[in-house]
Amino acid sequence: MDKNKKQRSWAEPYKIKMVEPVRISTFEERKKAIEAAGYNTFLLRSRDVYIDLLTDSGTSAMSDRQWAGMMMGDEAYAGSENFYHLERKVRRFYGYKYIVPTHQGRAAEHIISQIMIKKGDYIPGNMYFTTTKLHQELAGGTFVDVVIDEAHDPDNEHPFKANVDLDKLETLIIEKGADRIPYVSIATSVNMAGGQPISMENLKQVRELTQNYGIPIIHDMTRVAENAFFIKQREKGYGDKPVREIVSEICCLTDGATMSAKKDALVNIGGFLALNDKELFKKACNMVVIYEGLHTYGGLAGRDMEAMAIGITESVDEDHIKARVGQVEYLGKKLIDMGIPIVLPIGSHGVFLNASKILSHLSQDKLPAQTLAAELYLDAGIRAMERGVVSAGRNPETGEHNYPALELVRLTIPRRVYTQAHLDVVAESVEAVYENREAITGLEFTYEPEHLRFFQSRFQKIE
């Protein structure tokens, strides 16, 4: 490339056809709202939020083609045309043989955990995810983190922080025995590490190792296209490969997958379980009728499956994925320039603020990430998500808090929803909170539910 060539700007590969007005609230209104929500951003009403970066889950803007597809919903109880369209897309883009639709990702996690895990089993994975780990535990298993150590260090700039530490994995297999490991759980673009990718090279090594022991790999493919984009950018030999081919190569190295289509696949609701093994598929079909619905709709309307089928194609479009990850990078770079500590490298679906560093005067017991998320809301009505000690929950055996090395606040970017100007407002708000950080006191629990406590817990300020 010509080094003297000026760097040119890029813009999103879409134009806006419909708008949803948002309201800018006053500080007094926000103070009332966050108190009423018990300082938990999950308990805020959406109408009280100006820029909603709680999650990229189900919050994306669907395309005109997806909306048109919604009108083609075949709402038959059994054998809807939209199911067969979805099945064709899963086979074509991901290569899995059998698909069971589910209403969202955790329903697929529930089914796979119940059909594969026995009491006393161990499930190694490249870092935990809240719902995935809970379903493994509810099925009688124990999750074991085998991600590389770099993943737990927010400042480490390893390009593939979701890689598996092969020594950790093999030691576990030898110690516990392959028969007590029903599968290895591999996530692409690991959420809790900050949206970090696994490399193709590492995935191939995991494949080889697990095949030697006869252990299958179940893939959490929620953000597989984002992971593939990072492989294209960072891994030798992949620079000229289309993202859709990289996605397919990843999936081919695994035996089955759980999908929350609310992320990569650009729908507001939906997911699936995909499998290559016919016997497991039969068991999954038997389970889905108990919890979700018939195996050709799994809790979804025909129109939802149609939007998902179309969203799968759009998710691997080169221009789309470049702009999607590019928006996150734009915000991340702005925050780095402002001197704000964030997880490095910048993630695929959001920028993760390092709350331990920003609120370094608060111990983890004072819930720095939960506190920071509440302060961000107070400053400018921006809603973010805690990803620290509150999300990590308690050890089921000891009842003690799990203290994760990463105490983070996630500024998650919904796909195709916000403009660069929104992201400028977000960056300025983070900077304002950062400048006032010394005055911030922590939070303590006033209510804590048993499972996935981050969703519904309530807190009060420590004065």
Q: Which residues are catalytic?
A: 77, 129-130, 220, 263, 387, 454
Residue from 73, 95, 101, 105 in contact with ligand PM9 (CB under 6 A): 105
For the segment 233-292, give every residue that binds ligand PM9 (CB under 6 A). Answer: 260, 262, 271
Q: Which residue is nearest to ligand PM9 (CB)?
A: 105
- 133 or 334: whose CB is closer to ligand PM9? 133
Shortest separation between residue 391's beta carbon and ligand PM9, angstroms: 8
Residue whose C-alpha is closest to residue 441's, from 365, 381, 338, 386: 365
Site string (38-67) toward ligand PM9, x via CB under 6 A:
-----------------x-x----------
Shortest separation between residue 436's beta carbon and ligand PM9, angstroms: 27
In sequence order, what E strands does 7-94 have?
51-52
Shortest separation between residue 410's beta carbon and ligand PM9, angstroms: 8
Shortest separation between residue 392's beta carbon and ligand PM9, angstroms: 13
- 57 or 371: whose CB is closer to ligand PM9? 57
Q: State how far the Cα of 336 lies from the Cα of 348, in Å rounded to an integer.
A: 16
- Helices and strands: H and E segment counts in the chain: 16, 14
The answer to whether residues 269 and 276 touch, using CB atoms and an 8 Å cutoff, is no
The DSSP symbol for 245 reads H
- 95 or 271: whose CB is closer to ligand PM9? 271
Site string (111-130) toward ligand PM9, x via CB under 6 A:
------------------xx
Number of residues this chain uses to bind ligand PM9 (CB under 6 A): 16
Q: State how far the Cα of 349 lies from the Cα of 29, in Å rounded to an integer.
A: 29
Residue-by-residue DSSP string for 441-463: --EEEEE--SSSTTTT-EEEE--
Stretch that binds ligand PM9, among 103-111, 312-320, 338-346, 423-431 (CB under 6 A): 103-111
Q: Does 132 bind ligand PM9 (CB under 6 A)?
A: yes
Greatest CA separation for the chain? 63
Say which residues have a Cβ less than 8 Å from residue 182's Cβ, sequence separation at least 6. 116, 117, 118, 121, 123, 141, 215, 216
Q: Does 188 bind ligand PM9 (CB under 6 A)?
A: no
Q: What is the CA radius of gyration of the chain?
A: 22
Q: State how far the Cα of 342 lies from the Cα of 335, in Å rounded to an integer.
A: 8
Shortest separation between residue 152's beta carbon and ligand PM9, angstroms: 17
Please work out, in degrees rounded to the nearest 5, the angle formed at the alpha carbon of residue 425 by the alpha carbons of 422 and 430: 125
Strands 256-260 and 217-220 turn out to be parallel
Shortest separation between residue 106's beta carbon and ligand PM9, angstroms: 3
Half-sphere exposure of 22 (CA within 13 A, CB side): 14
- 85 or 262: whose CB is closer to ligand PM9? 262
- 130 or 371: whose CB is closer to ligand PM9? 130
Shortest separation between residue 413's beta carbon and ligand PM9, angstroms: 12
Say which residues have a Cβ less than 8 Å from residue 280's Cβ, sequence separation at least 6. 115, 116, 256
Residue from 30, 106, 135, 415 in contact with ligand PM9 (CB under 6 A): 106
Site string (342-361) toward ligand PM9, x via CB under 6 A:
--------------------
Q: Does 187 bind ligand PM9 (CB under 6 A)?
A: yes
Give exposure, 223-251, as e/b (b: 16+ Cβ within 10 Å): bbbbbbbbbbeebeebeeeebbebbbbbb
- 39 or 129: whose CB is closer to ligand PM9? 129
Query: Residue 327 CA to chain centroid, in angstroms?
Result: 16
Across-strand partners of 111?
none
Residue 164: φ, ψ to 5° = -85, 140
- 108 or 316: whose CB is closer to ligand PM9? 108
For the segment 211-230, give every residue that binds ligand PM9 (CB under 6 A). Answer: 220, 222
Q: State how far the Cα of 30 lies from the Cα of 212, in Å rounded to an integer.
A: 56
- 230 or 434: whose CB is closer to ligand PM9? 230
Shortest separation between residue 52's beta carbon and ligand PM9, angstroms: 12
- 132 or 315: whose CB is closer to ligand PM9? 132
Burial class from Cβ neighbours inside 10 Å (0-12, 13-18, 19+) for residue 188 reads buried
Shortest separation between residue 4's beta carbon and ligand PM9, angstroms: 42
Q: State how far the Cα of 217 lies from the Cα of 223, in Å rounded to an integer.
A: 17
Residue from 131, 185, 315, 364 in contact with ligand PM9 (CB under 6 A): 131
Stretch that binds ligand PM9, among 102-110, 146-154, 201-209, 321-329 (CB under 6 A): 102-110
Residue whose C-alpha is closest to residue 122's, from 133, 110, 106: 133
Residues lying near ligand PM9 in the complex (CB under 6 A) are found at 55, 57, 104-106, 129-132, 187, 191, 220, 222, 260, 262, 271
